Amino acid sequence: MEKAIKSIILAAGKGTRMKSQTPKVLHKIFNKEILGYVIDAVNSTGKAQENYIIVGHCAQQVEDYVNNNYDNAKCCLQSPQLGTGHAAFQAYEDLKGFDGEVIILNGDIPLLTSETIDKFIEEHRKNNNALTVMSAILEDPTNYGRIVRDENGNLKGIVEEKDTTEEQKKIKEINTGVYLLDWPKVHEAFLNLDSNNAQHEYYLTDIVKWTINKGLKARSFVLENNEESFGINSKKQLAEAAKIIKNRVLDKLLDDGVTIVDPDTTYISPETEIEADTIIYPCTYIEGKNKIGRDCKIGPFARIRGDVELGDSVKIGNFVEIKKTKIKSHTNVCHLSYVGDSTLGCNVNIGAGTITANYNHITKEKFQTVIDDNASTGSNSVIVAPAHIGENASIGAGSVISKDIEPNALGLTRAPLKILKGWFDRVKR
Cα Rg, the chain, nearest whole Å: 28
DSSP 364-407: TEE--EEE-TT-EE-TT-EEESSEEEPTT-EE-TT-EE-S-B-T
Alpha carbons 184 and 127: distance in angstroms, whole number: 17
Q: What are phi and psi of 170, to 5 degrees?
A: -80, -15
Distance CA 37, CA 26 (A): 10
Q: What is the DSSP letter of 124?
A: H
Q: Is 198 exposed, middle or buried (0-12, 13-18, 19+ CB in 10 A)?
A: exposed
DSSP string, 7-63: EEEEE----GGG-SSS-GGG-EETTEEHHHHHHHHHHTTT-EEEEEEEEBTBHHHHH
Whether 86 is catalytic is no
User: What DSSP assignment string belongs to 263-315?
Assistant: GGG-EE-TTEEE-TT-EE-SS-EE-SSEEE-TT-EE-SS-EE-SSEEE-TT-E
Active-site residue among 124, 335, 361, 388?
335
Phi then psi for residue 141, to 5 deg, are -90, 10
Catalytic positions, written as ranges: 335
